[in-house]
Amino acid sequence: MLLSPNQQLLPLTAQINDQQHLTIGGCDVTELVKEFGSPLYIVDELTVRTACQQYEQSFKQFYDADYLVLYASKAWSCTALCALVASEGLGIDVVSGGELYTALQAGVAPHTIYLHGNNKSAQEIKEAVQAGCTIVLDNWHDIKLTESLGEARVMVRVAPGIDCHTHEYIRTGQRDSKFGFDLEQLPQVFAHLRSGSLKCVGLHAHNGSQIFSLEHPQDLPKILLNYYKIARTEFNLEFTELNVGGGLGIRYTEADNPPTIGAWVQAVTQGVKSACSELGLRLPKLLCEPGRSLIGPACITAYTVGSQKVIPGVRTYITVDGGMSDNPRPITYQAQYRAVVANRMHAPNAGLVTIAGKHCESGDILIQDIDLPAVAAGDIVAVLATGAYNYSMASNYNRLPRLAAVLVQGGKAHLILRRETYSDLLRQDVMPPHLQR
């Protein structure tokens, strides 16, 4: 039975070697830190490829029509990862001109790139149209800007009114959302598009992120396909595509129990096939946009332990050489993670500690109250499942340079992101003449 990567705490290639060190992709984590520095993002290529392949294989198994899996690159956008998922047959979902440029520079075919966003600039839309990408229209402003460029291939984003059970900051499908047209607006939108220059090919919706329920993937197609049929029959729009978004969750802690990739795809496709049967529709080209479930489980972040603070009867803090600048999710979403001591994997746990970052913020806590072996300065702590929204949301807070990242496979490590330097931090600084000394 194939392991579903999103159900694993560690990357699929994780092992412990004779030195009791954690290895990923056949590479010793402690040796990677020596070579590339600390902190360090370590991405397992096999885990990424396996997740891509499980999406592809599941759609082939459960859906009897055309489909396209898109990588939601906001989870982690860099040229190497865009090229990696594209090599597995995936397209790319982008939400900015920068993400679009990255995907194009990675060699991704433009016709497999879809541009999202609730406030696209005229320049971003122009770049996408000129490249031959599809624009996902989010509002009337989008329509106006895209129409000003002449012909373009577009989809319409819908706020379906589904409130999924996840953190309020990552819900996107409920009616009270900044994304998409309300359902009651759609007839007016369809009427407008019928007489315009834009080639509208279908509908898009997205419920949110880190979702464990299989009810929402089945409910969403019923709502969308009802309006899909209205667009075709009442407004003569040549709809052929349906994008049901992404949002499948991953396992961050032992308590998390997300569905497998295959179960999620099966639920989505069953929902689409059932609704099409009821409505008398041919199966559309079905699109989805996984991000977290493709890249999240594939990465660990390796830190070096520094100072410790013991408050008797209260708490023991161990501090690492990174924190909220390389992983802002705990302070932003109260996200929970697990960690291991990568250079002493068989050491027994010694009690609860709190892993603190080095930033000048009391809230810079990576993990609160985790049972770990006793650690000392110089030990390597690896925080698990850090591939999604860690690098992509990283900052230079306190003027810390962003981390390096390596892609590991078959005992080899390839640098995919260079570590920033102090010079990089000053690259955009400009000193006015009267302040120069």
- Among all residues, which ones are annotated catalytic? 360
CA neighbor of 121 nearest in space, from 150, 97, 140, 101? 97
CA neighbor of 142 nearest in space, from 165, 125, 130, 129? 125
Residues in Cβ contact with 18 at an 8 Å cutoff, skipping those fewer than 6 apart: none
Structure tokens at 300: 């660990």
- Beta-sheet pairing, 315-320 with 352-356: parallel
Residue with the two structure tokens 């999710």? 329
Helix 261-279 to helix 215-233 angle (10° resolution) is 30
Q: Return the number of other C-beta atoms located less than 10 Å from residue 122's C-beta.
A: 13
CA neighbor of 75 nearest in space, from 27, 145, 6, 128? 6
Q: Are 355 and 390 in contact (CB under 8 A)?
A: no
Q: Are 264 and 211 in contact (CB under 8 A)?
A: no
Number of helices (H) and strands (E), helices first, in the chain? 12, 21
Residue with the two structure tokens 């499942």? 385
CA neighbor of 127 nearest in space, from 143, 103, 106, 107? 103
